[in-house]
Chains A and B, each alone.
Chain A
Amino acid sequence: DTGVSQDPRHKITKRGQNVTFRCDPISEHNRLYWYRQTLGQGPEFLTYFQNEAQLEKSRLLSDRFSAERPKGSFSTLEIQRTEQGDSAMYLCASSLSRLATTANTGELFFGEGSRLTVL
């Protein structure tokens, strides 16, 4: 396993179109996170999954955003009716989180990101 992978790396779309991003986490990682990053800023938390369960969504995530992780492996992030303000880098990260184990460092591993440009 070579790490977290995201697809596509870059998406250019017209306002109003729907887009979907995919993230494949590190295989043994049970937690998967989506972040959004704009130029000059740190990543902003959007949502996270523990296995297939979506445990939290940020208030940044409007009704136009939906994320799934149906089998507890890969995840998709869909943005409907895109707006110019959605233009950003969408980052996926994964980590291992298990109780009662010294392996649970909480270390976060990111993918290369999917850059969205809405025209």
Chain B
Amino acid sequence: KQEVTQIPAALSVPEGENLVLNCSFTDSAIYNLQWFRQDPGKGLTSLLLIQSSQREQTSGRLNASLDKSSGRSTLYIAASQPGDSATYLCAVSSSAGNNRKLIWGLGTSLAVNP
């Protein structure tokens, strides 16, 4: 049974720091992994999606990596800003094109202090 774990559960950093959020999964037979951002009381914003055949994806200050063999993904945020404060969730899909089987982590709550 696939399980997704995110560490740490909460993180507080000063503005400008580079930081890494971790996501680990127990079954390496995944189709893709997606990182989302969620602001309090809001929906989820897709940040990056990595297909199982890919090693990393980049968007602006964000870089996500995937190592299927070790069951890990990291989300790297460069030069953090107070506007990056949010909860970051990763979700793993084990079925091609069917997101009903997304398995979610509980998220990392990030606070970037000015």
Contact = CB atoms under 8 A, between A and B. Distances in A.
Nearest to B6: A42
A56 B44 contact: no
Interface of B: 31-32, 34, 36, 41-46, 49, 51, 89, 91, 93, 96-102, 104-107
B43 A97 contact: no
11 contacts: A42-B89, A42-B91, A42-B107, A43-B104, A48-B98, A105-B49, A105-B51, A106-B31, A106-B98, A110-B36, A110-B45
Interface string A90-119: 010101010000001111111111010000
Contact of B32 (A41, A93, A106): A106
A31 interface: yes
A106 B89 contact: no
Given A42-B89, A42-B104, A43-B104, A109 B97 contact: no
Given A42-B107, A48-B99, A110 B43 contact: yes
A85 interface: no
A99 to B, nearest CB: 8
